Each structure stands twice: as C-alpha cells, then as structure tokens.
Structure 1
C-alpha cells in the first residue's frame, strides 16, 4: 500500500490519466475517425496529454480548492 501522505499526488495521477484518456480519445476520434490507425494515434495523443495534465492537476487543484472554499458556506 501507498502511504496516506501521497494521496493527493496519487489522486492527481489517476484523475489526470483518466481525464486525458477520455478527452484525447474523443478528440482523436473526431479528427481521424475510427479507422485502423486510431489506437496508435490515440495512445500517442494520450501519453502527451497525460504528461502535461498531471503536473497541471497538481498545480491547479489547490488553487481550485481555495476558490471553491470561498464560494461555499461552511
């Protein structure tokens, strides 16, 4: 098991992986269609997207939490 102190990083890793997989899959499908080369094009797009999305989530998530905290009542 992974120590609890790594939970925010693990959360960001999984969230960015799933979201970038879905978004890159849809974008690749719309751009190229569901042809024979779709899986390899999508995989390349996904890995590139994930490499950018993971650090972005780690930076943006704390900012988003602060904004949401200011917008809701306790």
Structure 2
C-alpha cells in the first residue's frame, strides 16, 4: 500500500493513534467515570489532544528506543 520509504511515518502514525486512543480512554474514565458525556469527552477532547503530543514523540523517539532495545539485548 505505501512505499517502504514511508515506513517510519506510517509506524509513528499508527502507534500514536493506538497508544493515545487507549491511554486517553483509560485516563478519561479514571478522571470522570462513566458519565453521559464520557464518549464526547474522550473522543472529542482527550484523544485529539493526546494524539497531537503522541505522534511527534513516537516519530522522534522510536528509532532511539529501537537502538536502546537492541543494545540491551546483546549478549
């Protein structure tokens, strides 16, 4: 579907979407509980804000984390 040269960008996009979706849902639930406007608060407020932060973090830190993991796995 996508050329291999876009791997890092696609990876960062997908990882940040999944991570921020799950984390913002959990944190919203812990902070508000399950209220009538839970999904509105989660999907329209918390998730977009979390994703805007998560995407650049994943994009820039994933290569460093991969190298650190590789270093720690050496015997």
Instruction: Report deviation, 1:3.
Output: 1.1
CA distance in 2, matches of 1:32, 1:64: 33
**Equivalent position of 2:61 in the other structure:** 60
Distance, in Å, in 1 between the alignment partners of 2:62 and 2:42 is 26
Aligned Cα root-mean-square deviation (Å) = 1.2
The alignment's TM-score, normalised by the length of structure 1, stands at 0.92
5+ residue gaps, structure 1, are: none
Instruction: Report the equivalent of 1:72.
Output: 73
TM-score by length of 2: 0.91
Distance 1:18 1:68 in 2: 21
Distance in 1 between residues matched to 2:57 and 2:74, nearest whole Å:
27
Q: Which runs of 5+ in 2 are unaligned?
A: none
Q: Hey, what does 2:35 align to over in structure 1?
A: 35
